[in-house]
Amino acid sequence: MNIILLGPPGAGKGTQAARLVERYGMRQLSTGDMLRAAIQAETPTGLKVKAIMDAGELVSDEIVSALISDELVALPQTVGLIFDGYPRTEAQARQLDAILAKHHRKVDGVIELAVDEDALVERITGRFTCAHCGAGYHDEFKLPASTDPMRCDHCGSADFKRRPDDNEETVRTRMAEYRAKTAPILPFYEARGLVARVDGMAPIDEVTEEIEQLLANT
């Protein structure tokens, strides 16, 4: 099964994708994570996209679709896919159809995480991750069990990091990009009857339960 998690910055796409990976052995394909890895490794793509991402604007359709296309080559067809943060424009949605068709796959469902944008700024500015294993945390909603000293629940590392684009000004730009370019792709999938809406403001566990119920019926 191949599903898309759609929602504005901070909606919980990464949080929920990680849980689906754990529960169902699906593969998370996050273009944001791929781009951040490219920046870290200082690849030509990374050098090209750094300023764009720091400003909260969208990277070109060609770059992100090429990343997705490359990832799919090595993935066995039995592994279900979770698209996190891709597609983000109608052009990307069409490119995804073409990429999946090459691998005899298709989009089976789109889960829209519906959220209140004002609450998202707080979610994003409080977010941090384990620098070692990438596990996600939040200053208020999801601290590690061990806080003094703070250690990652998953790997025990005491090294944590924050994203450079997780400041209020950039978050506002990212949200404006979502409203202008990404939300308008919903009708593209609604016309195929693929979109289900989940309340992304509910507690994390409840959102997961709702998504799992949807997947069971897909």
Q: Which does 35 bind (CB under 5 to 8 A by kind): ligand AP5, Mg ion, none?
A: ligand AP5
What are the angstrom distances between the C-alpha of 181 and each of 91, 174, 176, 192? 10, 10, 8, 19
Dihedral of CA atoms 121, 122, 125, 129 in degrees, nearest 10, equals: -120
What are the angstrom distances between the C-alpha of 21 and each of 26, 41, 64, 95? 5, 25, 21, 24
Tell me whether residue 76 or residue 208 sits nearer to ligand AP5 (CB atom). Answer: 208
Tell me whether residue 39 or residue 103 sits nearer to Mg ion (CB atom). Answer: 39
Identified binder of ligand AP5 from the candidate list 3, 4, 6, 15, rule CB under 6 A: 15
82 beta partners: 3, 28
Identified binder of ligand AP5 from the candidate list 124, 130, 194, 198, rule CB under 6 A: 124
Indicate if 163 belongs to the active site.
yes
What is the nearest approach in angstroms of Mg ion to the Cβ of residue 30? Answer: 6
Identified binder of ligand AP5 from the candidate list 70, 79, 141, 192, rule CB under 6 A: 141
| CB burial string 12-23: b at 16+ within 10 A, e below | bbbbbbbbbeee
What is the nearest approach in angstroms of ligand AP5 to the Cβ of residue 27? Answer: 16
Tell me whether residue 58 or residue 81 sits nearer to ligand AP5 (CB atom). Answer: 58
In three-state secondary structure terms, 28 is strand
Report DSSP state, residue 145: S
> Is residue 14 a contact point for Mg ion (CB under 5 A)?
yes
Report the C-alpha gap between 137 and 134 in whole angstroms: 9
Identified binder of ligand AP5 from the candidate list 20, 72, 123, 215, rule CB under 6 A: 123
Identified binder of ligand AP5 from the candidate list 58, 96, 185, 215, rule CB under 6 A: 58
Interface residues for ligand AP5 in 61-80 (CB under 6 A)? 64
In 3-state terms the chain splits into helix, strand, coil percentages (rounded to 5) of 50, 15, 35
Task: Give the residues lining the site for ligand AP5 (CB under 6 A).
Answer: 7, 9-15, 31-32, 35, 52-53, 56-59, 64, 85-86, 88, 92, 123-124, 127, 136, 138, 141-142, 174, 200, 202-204, 207
Query: Residues with catalytic annotation?
Result: 13, 88, 127, 163, 174
